[in-house]
Chains A and B, each alone.
Chain A
Amino acid sequence: MSSKNLFQKVWEAHTVGTLSNEQTQLFVGRHLIHEVTSPQAFGMLREKNLSVRYPERTFATVDHIVPTNESSEPYSDSLADAMIKELRKNCDETGITFFDVGSGMQGIVHVVGPEQGLTQPGMTIACGDSHTSTHGAFGAIAFGVGTSQVRDLLATQTMALNPLKVRRIEVNGKLEPGVYAKDVILHIIRKLGVNGGTGFAYEYGGTVFDGFSMEERMTACNMSIEGGARVGYVNPDEKTFDYLKGRPYAPEDKDWDSSVQVWRDFASDEGCSYDDVVSIDAGEISPTVTWGINPAQAVSIDESIPSVSEVNPSDQESVREALEYMQLEGGTPIKGIPIDVAFIGSCTNGRLSDLEEVASRIHGKKVKEGVKAIVVPGSQIVSKLAQQRGLDKVFIEAGFEWRNAGCSMCLAMNPDKLIGDQLCASSSNRNFKGRQGSPTGRTMLMSPTMVAAAAICGVVTDSRQIFNS
């Protein structure tokens, strides 16, 4: 039998057939839905008089619009209130499991899936959200879809898709202290570009990914789409199995051992082929910060923002546009740029280990006067575990606001928004124009620890210089 990579194995195991346009009809074993991209799909089903084919394969939660500083309904935003009620109704009518706000299990869909054990190796997973690639950390093929495909999945549990090529990205060596998974993925995107991954699934590996915790792998896989790759994954290993053991939806008892065997077999075979291989030396990665309006426009903390004249002629227009929007001068060191807001949270960096890492650094320090700093746990479970460890008190003591779980200021569909041209140091995943709720608001992406350093100093700061690494 010829050797195969994980993508090929998972794809074959889920192929239903070939459609008349040569696309694959792919079975999607796990479907996750949320309040923003699903109501229209349920509407389309009703219009066509179709029912949900496998309600037990779809799970729902509410994350995008949920307020993080109100806990009782109706919410003050009536549109948001209507959306959550619509999802609740759709789940009730179809028998889909809903991790509702009152369940204690609500949160960002890409935090909830893994923490419930719904995300497992060898699965195909889809969700109407581009950061679905997060689930690839477990060796699943997980991708974002549009609402029409949410409809297709509800109706048939399958969708039409073209197979992807696979690029293996190896990061070998040792990361310097104070360099995190977020810096690794920002570095990869900076090197390969925002559309370098179009048509590819990224397989991440090498000693750095082998050494990463599951939550660090999730952070990296999460941002695959920011490099244009719809899918990003890490081969499953003992860490993956240890993480899953005992979670509510993980296999139990005698099923556990047989599942682990099946999961192990999905990992890429030794000597299998890839369409492309990229190697990166961990030693070249520093704390990384974006300065522009896409996630590839990033520099390491010791560098200066590029000026228009020093970049390739083909990039000059986009650099000019980014500098103008960000109100930054080319050639300025990234370190020292003043910030107004600090946001720790999101499906990229809103997990327990992110909050623990920051809390361990900020003891005895205070958020700079004039900076608004908020911490939004990725889920109610993350929030509960953090509170049990007293992390909320550490953050509040330091001058951060401690909020309820949700997507919050990553995309600002709830009341958490930038005002005017405020500049936000953010642990989220996108720095597009207007992304954080104000059409002129500015975002700089970085690791949660770097966000905390910026919050404390009031300017973009090398966290290694103010925290003891």
Chain B
Amino acid sequence: MALAKITEVTGKGICVLGDDIDTDRIIPARFMKCVTFDGLGEYLFHDVRFDEDGKPKVHSLNDPAYQNASIIISGANFGCGSSREHAPQSIYRAGFRAIIAGNFAEIFFGNSINLGMPCLSMNEANRKKLSDLVIGNPDAVLKIDLIECKLRSENLVFPFTLNEGARDSLIRGMWDPLDELIEANSEIERVSRTLNYT
């Protein structure tokens, strides 16, 4: 099945501020007791959003103004910690389609690209400016252009970077590598035979 060519992501933004937002915070381990990823969106950032009695806390994700947001703006080292794909899955299944941060932990980055969810690195000054824009006007439409590596909103332009291989995979609709991996069947077998272990 051909995958969508992801050349742009358009939507409203939401700020989830702070550096080093780890995957335990994105999806606490107790919600990983599941054999499919289907219901994970509901538990996104659960313990940051709800207190121990399940009552909502003050958090942008609980704010009706951002209810339809689809682009997360955060700090440095986003997605650090556990390799759990449950983290990007819960973000994606909660309706988000792109993340902007200072930089990303490697495993999280790869897991997100595999879902077709771009992770864009933006410098601190621009992230601050973009956050101010979103907080000032939650309805502002952000337009991420993966061809030009620019985000545009309200006549402002915010440059970002994205690993070239990942960008290329997204815009060509090749972000899930499985089909291409399978094609190399005979070469896989050759390498398997050259190894001194099975």
Contacts and interface: CB of A to CB of B under 8 A. Distances in A.
A228 B33 contact: no
Nearest to A126: B83
Interface string B76-90: 110011111110100
A146 B84 contact: yes
A318 B83 contact: no
Interface in B41-59: 47, 51-52
A20 B180 contact: yes
A14 B191 contact: yes
B192 A19 contact: no
A130 B87 CA distance: 13
B194 interface: yes
B85 A79 contact: no
A79 B25 contact: no
A56 B198 contact: yes
A130 B108 CA distance: 10
Contact of A149 (B77, B106, B114): B114
Contacts of A195: 20, 76-77, 80, 103, 105
Interface residues of A, number: 84
A83 B188 contact: no
A411 B24 CA distance: 9
B107 interface: yes
Contacts of B164: 22
Nearest to B32: A36
Nearest to A132: B83
Contact of A13 (B33, B37, B195): B195
A228 B106 contact: yes
Contacts of A279: none
Nearest to B87: A146
A469 B110 CA distance: 45
Interface stretch (A23-31, A100-108, A394-402): A23-31
A15 B103 contact: no
B115 A128 contact: no
Contacts of B22: 294, 430, 432-433
Nearest to A30: B197
B8 interface: no
A437 B107 contact: no
A439 B19 CA distance: 19
A57 B47 CA distance: 38
B155 interface: no
A222 interface: no
B115 to A, nearest CB: 7
B2 interface: no
Nearest to A15: B191
Contact of B176 (A57, A83, A86, A148): A148
A128 B172 CA distance: 27
A86 B35 contact: yes
Interface string B142-154: 0000000000000
Given A152-B177, A198-B103, A39 B115 contact: no
A160 B35 contact: no
Interface in A116-135: 120, 122-123, 128-130, 132
Nearest to B178: A152
Given A29-B197, A146-B83, A294-B22, A156 B111 contact: no
Per CB-CB distance, the 7 closest pairs between chain A and chain B, nearest first, are: A146-B111, A146-B85, A144-B83, A439-B47, A79-B33, A39-B35, A130-B83
Given A48-B178, A148-B111, 5 more contacts: A13-B194, A21-B165, A129-B83, A145-B83, A259-B196
Interface of A: 13-17, 19-23, 25, 27, 29-30, 36-37, 39-40, 43, 48, 50, 53-54, 56-57, 64-65, 77, 79-80, 82-83, 86, 120, 122-123, 128-130, 132, 143-149, 151-152, 155-162, 194-195, 198-199, 225, 228, 230, 251, 258-259, 262, 294, 317-318, 321, 411-413, 420, 430, 432-435, 437, 439-440
Interface of B: 18-20, 22, 24-25, 28-30, 32-37, 47, 51-52, 76-77, 80-86, 88, 103, 105-107, 110-111, 114-115, 163-166, 168-169, 172, 174, 176-178, 180-182, 184-185, 187-188, 191-192, 194-198
